[in-house]
Every structure is written in C-alpha cells, then in structure tokens.
Amino acid sequence: KEPFKVPALHSGVFKATDGSLGVFIVNVTEKPLRFGFELTPDRYPLVKSKAYRLALLSASGRRKELGVQKGKIAFDSQVAGHDLIFLKATPVTED
C-alpha cells in the first residue's frame, strides 16, 4: 500500500459575526514553514472598507496588533511545526 499524502499547510478564510475576516494557517508537519498570502477584500464576505486593521491572535488569546493596510490584506510569516496562526482583519470605520 502507498502512504497517503496531505498538504503541509492547511488554511481557511471566514467572516466573523463582527464583520471582520478571519484567516487561519495550520502546519501539520514537524518543521516550521514559511507562508505568505495577499487577499483582495472585495472577493471575500467582509464589511467593505478602504483599510483593514490586522491583528495576530494566539490560541491562548494573546493579541498582537500588526497595523493597518490599505486596499488589500497581505501577510507573510512562519508557522511552527504542529502549530497554527490566526489573523484577524477588521475594517477601519471612519467616525
């Protein structure tokens, strides 16, 4: 029998109840892996905005603010072996 194969990284994108966009990346291997992505917001189900505030959320609930990006949502990093990364993109609303 041949062993089955799966991709090393798994990901997903979803709309949160507050109108933000959640992105998760899961590394199923033992080794750290680099990744990068760029999302065009109008292709995803989130509140339309000219800019998005990005935050990195950990499984323990820690939050790291990454700043504001205009016109797109782009991120690159490394994910440790058997770990995940969760990114939240929140529309910047003008008051």
Per residue in 26-84, pLDDT (tens digit) is 999 999 999 999 998 888 777 778 899 999 998 777 999 999 999 889 999 999 999 99
Alpha-carbon distance values, 32 to 41, 49, 74 (Å): 28, 33, 20
Q: What is the pTM of this model?
A: 0.84
User: Which carries the bigger pLDDT value, residue 86 or residue 5?
Assistant: 86
Rounded Cα gap, residues 93 and 95, in angstroms:
6
SS3 43: helix
Per-residue pLDDT at 95: 55
Rounded Cα gap, residues 70 and 53, in angstroms:
9
Task: Name residue, tokens 């323990």.
Answer: 60
Per-residue pLDDT at 51: 93
Nearest of 87, 76, 91, 84 to residue 37 by alpha carbon: 76
- Does the pLDDT of residue 94 top 70, yes or no? no
